[in-house]
Structure 1
Amino acid sequence: MASYLILTPPGARADDERARFVADGYSWWAFLFPALWLLAKRQWVIGIAVAVLQISLIFLSSHENGFLPSLLAQLALRLVVALEGPVLVARSLISRDWTLRSIVAAPNLETAEEIYFTSVAPGEKRPVPPSPADWTVRQPAKGGTGLGLFDSYGER
């Protein structure tokens, strides 16, 4: 299930049809074509920087003993863009005075739209997004420790 960041244009109501739903997750298109994906999302500076870096890594791979480091750097760059690219798009919108209205967890875009638009009253000016003070921190179960990197908090 993906999380969708719902953003509305400056001065728009919460139920505005121009609301953007940005999926906060992995993007296969961003992994396959990082520079082109960034440029298509209008992230000009970072898109050009990634393109220049990719071209320089291609030239590095043609040198002796440069193929493996170039390949690893290329994969790392692609992973970073694929994982953080959608958040970069959302931050760009927020910097242009778009309002983060809500965060919805849904299996697909249609369900996220349905959840969001049914929870917003028509004409509502500004629903309150969840604040960090409202987040709850679960305490670990007494007497037990988690295996591996994650604690189970007493759940199965």
Structure 2
Amino acid sequence: MASYVVMEPPAGSNKAEDATLVRDGFTWLGFLVPPLWLAWRRLWIEAVVTFAVMAILSVLGERLGLEWAGSALSLLVSLYVGFEGQAMRIAAMRRRGWHEWGVVEAGSLGDAEIRHVLETGEDGDESAPMPRIVPDMNQARPAQTGMALGLTHTPGRP
């Protein structure tokens, strides 16, 4: 089962159908074509930086006569986008004012959407809000004590 982070739009209508679900995991298209995947997801700055880094590594490897090194380093950039692409997408949505509702586990996106609608319980009754599964980034967090591999924090990951 996959984990989906549910992002709610900023201060507009908080209906379940307005939420966006982002799958938390490796993205193959982000690995195969990182700048294009980032641009498709409207992560313009990240796409430009990724393209520039990959081009610089390629040119540098060619000038130094180490084509294999430039290719290997470009592969590392692709791996980074493959593993952290969804986290970059969530961070960009957070910067645009979206906030996390929580995490839903399901076998597919359709199942995750159904589970989210059922968990929000939008049947017209105003009930007490459910406790947050993923804390807001504005709340104070304890200092991280261990090593971290990614540059962005992904909700749902230790």
TM-score range normalised by the length of the shorter chain:
0.7 to 0.9
CA RMSD of aligned residues (A): 2.0
**C-alpha distance in 1 between matches for 2:49 and 2:97:** 25
Match of 1:75 in 2: 75
* The one of 123, 132, 135 aligned to 1:129: 132
Where structure 2 has 5 or more consecutive residues not aligned to the other structure, the ranges are 136-158
Is the contact made by 1:14 and 1:101 (CA closer than 8 Å) also made in structure 2? no
How high is the sequence identity, in percent, across the aligned residues?
28
Match of 1:117 in 2: 117
**C-alpha distance in 2 between matches for 1:6 and 1:131:** 10
Shift of 1:64: 4.7
* 1:57 to 2:57 alignment: yes
Which of these two proteins has the greater Rg computed from alpha carbons? 1
Is the contact made by 2:16 and 2:117 (CA closer than 8 Å) also made in structure 1? no
Is the contact made by 2:9 and 2:18 (CA closer than 8 Å) also made in structure 1? yes
**C-alpha distance in 1 between matches for 2:70 and 2:107:** 36
* 1:101 to 2:101 alignment: yes
The 1:89/1:131 distance shift into structure 2, 3 A limit, reads: closer
Is the contact made by 2:4 and 2:23 (CA closer than 8 Å) also made in structure 1? yes
Match of 1:18 in 2: 18
Match of 1:8 in 2: 8
Where structure 1 has 5 or more consecutive residues not aligned to the other structure, the ranges are 133-156
Q: TM-score, normalised by structure 2?
A: 0.75
Shift of 1:57: 2.1
**C-alpha distance in 2 between matches for 1:11 and 1:94:** 13
SS at match of 1:97: coil
**C-alpha distance in 1 between matches for 2:105 and 2:134:** 16
Match of 2:147 in 1: none
Shift of 1:88: 0.8
Match of 1:138 in 2: none
